[in-house]
Structure 1
Amino acid sequence: MPAVAYFKSLPLDDDESLVDVELPVPEPGPHDLLVRVEAVAVNPVDYKVRQGDDPGGRPKVLGWDAAGTVVAIGDQVGRFTVGDEVYYAGAIDGPGANMRYHVVDENIVGRKPSTLSFGEAAALPLTSLTAWEGLFERLGLAEGAQQSGTLLVTAAAGGVGAMVAQLAKNLTAMTVIGTASRPQSIEYARRMGVTHVVDHHRPLAQQVVQFAPGGLDHVFSTAGTDRNLRAYAEMLKPFGHLVAIDDFGPVEIGLLKPKSISFHWELMFTRSLHRTADMAQQHHILTRVAALVDQGVIMTTATEDLGTINAAHLREAHRIMEAGSAIGKITLTGF
């Protein structure tokens, strides 16, 4: 089957950084689905793995966002059947979905929103799971009008930021403040549900105080947590909550102690990495997200499709992601 892989960690200007290959079709295990992949989306995790995990000459396939059709199932699968259209983010400790046929555990898969194309659906799983877990499980928000307060989300026009904004805006009564700087990213963030926009290239606290004079209740930090930690400590109310998803080195976490601010990590791969007892929660989240999409409550964050799934198009997608200039999600459709 066709796939896109890399054999050595290389810069993108090297044609060998991502290459077209032929691989055997995988066999599903007892709880697995074999999915014919119709579309994938690209996330920062793709280029971070490519840069930092050298496979030593063996083909490694990236891609942790996919939509496709179930073509075979394991003998203990109970949630899906052959022919189901599905979407999922997969597991970081297994092969990615940049291949024609991909195996994935049924517990982390949802049925594709019926109103979306495969490409539109592929944009949603990783960011929806990250946003949902971050908001409702880490920050402890509750759905409904009783959940009021003020939430700051950084990089609000990015894949995760846009989903955070949509979920908070449409499922709670939170006031959403988002960071963005370019005119097109500001417009997109507002369309996703951000009420007030601040510029992440300028001091945050001086801007946020205009919209949250009493302080923030929650911060969802998708980027820049290390450089913004002092500002978060200043802006958050006593007993506030901060959740981060980005990667960074040592930080002065003691800045949060005077206000008893809680710090949370969010990694949507935790459940699949550790085979947690509640791993199927991701199936339920994706099921709920699909229903919200089909009801018109939230929308796909797919903004640009680069064409078929091949090495050249994926190198271009990685190039855009590495530059940090993407708005919404980049997808690729078909082989």
Structure 2
Amino acid sequence: MAAIAARDLTKAYGDLVAVDGVDLVVEEGEFFGVVGPNGAGKTTLLEMVEGLRPPDRGEVEVLGGSVYPRNPGLQRRVGVQLQASSFFERLTAREQIRTFASLYGVPASAADAWLERVGLGEKAGNRVEDLSGGQAQRLSIACALVHDPELVFLDEPTAALDPQARRNLWDLLNDINEAGRTVVLTTHYMDEAEALCDRVAVMDAGRILELDTPAALVRGLDAPTRITVAPGVLRAERARGIAGVDRAEEEPEGTVITTRDPAGVIGALAAGGMLDGVSVHTGTLEDVFLALTGRAYRA
């Protein structure tokens, strides 16, 4: 049984079609990502799947049950972390999460343990208004997970987190998924989707453009490899004479070679004793994202 099965989900606001006929299946135990530029429809899609917003057309099942009309039986089995969360401002972090836990009959000790797991143990006595943006984000995630749901929705979970906190949260999300939980997240960080997700849907203008594993998406792009040789080691003119080199340009970081035969080019560099300081950059999910959605900034 699929954890999520959506068919023809559509939502419009006046003339703006935010989600346009989306079909989506997420398997149980899968770590599933939705990426796309601002205004792509990611949050609206998740809100319909979560049961927070009714679709104009289409239907969705979550954990084998219909989301509409409102299904109270699913609430205990699902955890949701929204892009913007509201807390009781005068309560401490400990009081906040214990309040959430009490709604599900979860003991206070388990709630306190979640504060520790997201790195907020030392801030348990602080009011939410005194937490930083990243700390409030981690509290929001802990509240979504406190009742140990089977399916977790995370909307931009690492926004406002510093790099160390972001990597620590990745470890936590991996642990949750490896314990058998299904995780669905939206993110703007392509490295995050590439590192965490079993499959990724690239969404734009309300539609899913591509859906596959990160590795398959990158292979499908057929992007060339960029090899950078340290400055002063190899001139671009000479590099262009190496078999397999499509293009070579001199940049501040060195001579940058573009090739679709990286093994052959690296072999030639090795034969010439030019491997010191060489760096190799293959295609990434970010390249796929930009190829599918374009480079123009959209606020």
The TM-score with structure 1 as length reference comes to 0.26
